[in-house]
Structure 1
């Protein structure tokens, strides 16, 4: 008997043989899809966007502070008072050195958009400040030093001398606080504080390195 030389029929792949190929390709398809979603989310997160209004960002920095203490001056007014009693027959005098602290503040509630200008090309914010407010002197009478003169000083006379000197010391401290040297120091401290209070929030908000120029009413326009 001669051997059968007819070529065998090609074996067609069955559903069972094709399913492993699909199963091995599925994880790669899921990986590619996840990668595309991640890339889209990253683009949404990091894409350039409108970072908002720099003036609004600056005003928000002032919202939580109605006033800002920018400078404090330690003063020591020297004052004296006289007292006369019994038709001028009993005289006394008191000299006092009373330490005092005076605070210089800014009214931030009065700073609005009308006091700000933004130069987008130069990335510069110009701010115009209202006048500084010089606070009422805080007298430290516990550390006051007194020198009294008189043959006899009654308790009433001593109390009156002390009250008079307290009023004089408060008045003199206000005058000393308005000294041009102290006012210039306070204005410089105020400008530094405003620059810092505005530059950092603008940088965090995405405006980058921003220059903040500050001037008080009556000073040359900063921009």
Structure 2
């Protein structure tokens, strides 16, 4: 009931905000302000942005020996893991952005992606144990070893060039959307946002328009 009653007020506020924005666009100053300041505002509330997540399934194996080798056991484990790729947006400042007023183009240089610590889902892990008699202590030790191996393997898999390429592509798409929309709302029109990471070459400048043929 509370949501139903609040809806008219929400609609009123949205209409009022739209009317104010349209009035500002029609009668306000033509100077839209600083595009870099507008872009930095879009980053203020997002110190760390998760841009991509990879679902991995490390397959690991460990062995255990007790009673001078009389009791040998082995455990194979498949432990699902999720790894997040994030951007540290707190490092973004004016030095990492440039605006081309002639072409309405914003160039953005991002810091390197951060690969998070793997989140192992041991509740969905699958185990295969081999041995004539596996004590509780040996089983716990095998599980502990496999957990450490799975975490290490997940980190290595997350650094795979294919996954990194996908994560960088997702990061660029997210930043383009996060910056293009505020700039459009601020009155800069249909802007172009070029995004690159540290170490990547900047996008080539657009070719100048050909002169119109003389009559």
How does the TM-score come out when normalised to structure 1? 0.79
CA–CA separation in structure 2 for the residues paired with 1:206 and 1:107 = 28
C-alpha deviation, 1:214, in angstroms: 0.3
Q: Which runs of 5+ in 2 are unaligned?
A: 1-22, 206-215
Q: Which residue of 2 aligns with 1:121?
A: 102
Q: Which residue of 1 aligns with 2:212?
A: none
1:1-223 pair list within 5 angstroms: 46=27, 48-222=29-203
C-alpha deviation, 1:46, in angstroms: 2.0
C-alpha deviation, 1:74, in angstroms: 0.2
CA–CA separation in structure 1 for the residues paired with 2:111 and 2:59 = 32
CA–CA separation in structure 2 for the residues paired with 1:68 and 1:45 = 35
Q: Which residue of 2 aligns with 1:32?
A: none
Q: Report the aligned-residue RMSD.
A: 1.4
Could you say what secondary structure the match of 1:65 adopts?
coil
**CA pair 89-43 structure 1, distance change in 2 beyond 3 A:** closer
How does the TM-score come out when normalised to structure 2? 0.82
Could you say what secondary structure the match of 2:109 adopts?
strand
C-alpha deviation, 1:50, in angstroms: 1.4
Q: Which of the two has higher C-alpha Rg?
A: 1
Structure 1 runs (4+) greater than 4 angstroms displaced? 42-45
Could you say what secondary structure the match of 2:33 adopts?
coil
Could you say what secondary structure the match of 1:87 adopts?
coil
